[in-house]
């Protein structure tokens, strides 16, 4: 293990910012911190970097206790949401700056800068000042500076948030490739679930300063341990409704059914919160077991490849994500269907009581 957090917490003026957390991040791994604004992503990163001192707990780097060791003395590179470059230096000098600080020989600097610049498609701009470049190029320059440093720990705090959608898409596929060979530990903070899945690697979901789950991204997505994780890791947000189990019978909204699924049969009697993802809420029943819900269509959004239906089911706001184009008039009541295999059951404490059974057939998780 490369970076270990043991029981690390942060309390500021009596307010818990980070609840006691454990985390082991391996060398050469991409780790995404996923959570909404103020969920503690940046606080956790600052603790990892040594910019803040944890209130409790230890931080170990390659087995050595580095708690309290200053950030200057540690081997860290950081990239922020804002494009931070030295405005008076050329792109070349910007990229070279970490090497100059280490007093590397000039020839080595030139080779390293050229190589990194080419990798990040900055080769043509080396003699320009950062402010003459576009946003995407400025952020590439900041990334290049982080990359050339060859640090053991690279922290990326929403690096693509200020970029255009398409540029984001490009850099998102490039970033993991760029850093892949360096063997460093990567930590990447984002608010977007899809970004976590696209980057691959592992995901740490955060909610109100607490780590709710840590595993490979696809596992966290398909096998959330609790309701909070499932909701954080779902875009559009997950759809929810209340359920009750009496004997074998499960009543779910206007439906009552005898589950066929062993996982659902095993559930103890009681009250549950049931969640399912928008792409599993369909206009046609998938099979004979599918449950039918009658809803009111509030609005539709068509992206060309997909259609989003915003639905009102009793007091709940649901979203259905359909493939293709569906022209429907808002205001009408329509029936929608969910296959019970796509239902997640959460208990009163918000813990997962039964995973959706479709996940058992997934090879990758």
Partner 1 sequence: MKKTVNQKAWFMVLPVLLLVAFSAVIPLMTVVNYSVQDTFGNNEFFWVGLEWFEEIIQSERMHDALIRQILFSSIILIIEIPLGIFIALHMPKKNSLWTSLCLVLIALPLLIPWNVVGTIWQIFSRIDIGLLGYSLDAIGVDYNYTQNAVDAWITIIIMDVWHWTSLVVLLCYAGLQSIPDAYYQAAKIDQASRWNTFRYIELPKMKGVLLIAILLRFMDSFMIYTEPFVVTGGGPGNATTFLSIDLVKMAIGQFDLGPAAAFSLIYFLVILLISWVFYTAMIHTDEENQS
Partner 2 sequence: MAKITLSNLAHSYTTNPVSDQDFALKTLNHEWDDGAAYALLGPSGCGKSTLLNIISGLLTPSQGRILFDDQDVTNYDTATRNIAQVFQFPVVYDTMTVAENLSFPLKNRKLPADYVNQRVRDIAEMIGIESLLNHRARGLTADTQQKISLGRGMVREDVNAILFDEPLTVIDPQMKWQLRSQLKALHSQLGHTMIYVTHDQTEALTFADKVVVMSDGEVVQIGTPQELFEKPAHTFVGYFIGSPGMNILPADIVGNTAMICGQKVPLDASYRALNGELALGIRPEFITLTNNPDDLPVTVLSIEDIGRHKIIRTDFFGNELNIVSAQDHDIQEDMKFVTFDRRRINIYENDWLVTP
Distance between the two ends of the chain, CA-based, in angstroms? 22
> Binding to partner 1 (CB under 8 A): which residues in 56-115?
68, 70-71
SS3 state of residue 179: helix
Q: Which does 12 bind (CB under 5 to 8 A by kind): partner 2, partner 1, none?
A: partner 1
Region 245-264 residues binding partner 2, contact defined as CB under 8 A: none
Rg (CA), the chain: 24
For the bound state, the minimum distance from the C-beta of residue 80 to partner 2, rounded and expressed in Å, comes to 16
# binding residues, partner 1 (CB under 8 A): 11
Name the pairing type of β-strands 249-252 and 333-338: unpaired
308 is a site residue for partner 2 (CB under 8 A):
yes
The tokens of 127 are what?
């003699």
Q: Is 131 in the site for partner 1 (CB under 8 A)?
A: no
Q: How many CB atoms lie within 10 A of CB 308?
A: 17
Shortest Cβ distance from residue 352 to partner 1 (Å)? 34
Q: What is the dihedral of CA 195, 199, 204, 205, to 10 degrees?
A: 20
**By C-beta, is 13 or 305 nearer to partner 1?**
13
243-254 burial code (b ≥16 CB/10 A, e <16): bebeeeebebbe
Q: CA 99, CA 361: separation in Å to the nearest integer? A: 50
One symbol per residue from 198 to 217: x for binding partner 2 (CB under 8 A), - otherwise; what is it? x-x-----------------
Nearer to partner 2, 149 or 222 (CB): 222
SS3 50: coil
Strands (E), the chain: 3-12, 15-25, 30-34, 56-61, 64-65, 76-79, 153-157, 185-190, 202-207, 210-216, 239-246, 249-252, 255-257, 270-276, 291-302, 306-313, 316-323, 333-338, 344-346, 352-354
Distance CA 57, CA 59 (A): 7
CA quadruple 250, 253, 254, 255: dihedral, nearest 10:
-30
Closest contact distance (angstroms) between CB of 166 and partner 2 is 6
Region from 44-52, 92-100, 155-163, 194-202 binding partner 1, contact rule CB under 8 A: 44-52
Q: Is 224 in the site for partner 2 (CB under 8 A)?
A: no
Task: Between 12 and 348, name the residue whose CB sits nearer to partner 1.
Answer: 12
Shortest CB 50 distance to partner 1, Å? 7
Whichever of 7 and 173 has its CB closer to partner 1, that residue is 7
Contact letters for partner 2, residues 161-200 (x by CB under 8 A):
---xxxx-x---------------------xxxx--xx-x
Helix axes 135-148, 106-119, angle to 10 degrees: 130
Q: Which is nearer to partner 2, 193 or 275 (CB)?
A: 193
Q: Should residue 55 be labelled a site residue for partner 1 when binding is judged by CB under 8 A?
A: yes
* 325 near partner 2, rule: CB under 8 A: yes
Tokens of 70: 């200053």
- Footprint of partner 2 on this chain (CB under 8 A)? 36-37, 134-135, 164-167, 169, 191-194, 197-198, 200, 218, 221, 231, 234-237, 277-279, 298-299, 301-305, 308, 310, 317, 319, 321, 323, 325, 330, 358, 364
């Amino acid at each position: 293990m490369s970076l270990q957090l043991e029981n690390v917490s942060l309390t500021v003026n009596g307010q818990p910012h980070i609840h006691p957390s454990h985390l082991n991040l391996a060398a050469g791994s991409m780790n995404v911190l996923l959570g909404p604004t103020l969920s503690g992503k940046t606080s956790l990163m600052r603790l990892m970097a040594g910019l803040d001192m944890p209130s409790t707990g230890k931080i170990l780097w390659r087995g050595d206790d580095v708690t309290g060791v200053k950030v200057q003395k540690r081997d860290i590179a950081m990239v922020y949401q804002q494009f931070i470059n030295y405005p008076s230096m050329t792109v070349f000098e910007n990229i070279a700056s970490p090497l100059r600080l280490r007093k590397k020989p000039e020839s080595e600097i030139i080779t390293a800068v050229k190589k990194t610049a080419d990798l990040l498609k900055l080769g043509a701009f080396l003699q320009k000042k950062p402010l003459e470049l576009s946003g995407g190029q400025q952020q590439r320059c900041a990334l290049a500076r982080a990359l050339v440093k060859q640090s053991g720990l690279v922290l990326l705090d929403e690096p693509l948030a200020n970029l255009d959608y398409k540029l984001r898409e490009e850099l998102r596929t490039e970033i993991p490739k760029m850093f892949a060979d360096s063997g460093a530990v990567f930590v990447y903070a984002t608010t977007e679930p899809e970004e976590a899945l696209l980057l691959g690697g592992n995901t740490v979901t955060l909610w109100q300063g607490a780590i709710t789950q840590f595993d490979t991204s696809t596992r966290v997505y398909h096998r959330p341990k609790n309701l909070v994780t499932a909701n954080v890791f779902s875009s559009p947000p997950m759809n929810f409704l209340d359920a009750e189990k009496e004997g074998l019978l499960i009543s779910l909204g206007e439906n009552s059914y005898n589950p066929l699924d062993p996982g659902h049969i095993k559930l103890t009697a009681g009250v549950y919160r049931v969640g399912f993802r928008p792409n599993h809420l369909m206009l046609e029943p998938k099979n004979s077991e599918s449950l039918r819900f009658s809803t009111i269509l509030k609005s539709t959004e068509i992206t060309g490849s997909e259609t989003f239906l915003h639905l009102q089911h009793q007091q709940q706001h649901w979203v259905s994500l359909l493939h293709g184009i569906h022209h429907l008039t808002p205001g009408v009541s329509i029936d929608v269907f969910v296959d019970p295999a796509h239902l997640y059951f959460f208990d009163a404490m918000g813990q997962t009581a039964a995973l959706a059974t479709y996940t058992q057939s997934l090879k990758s998780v």
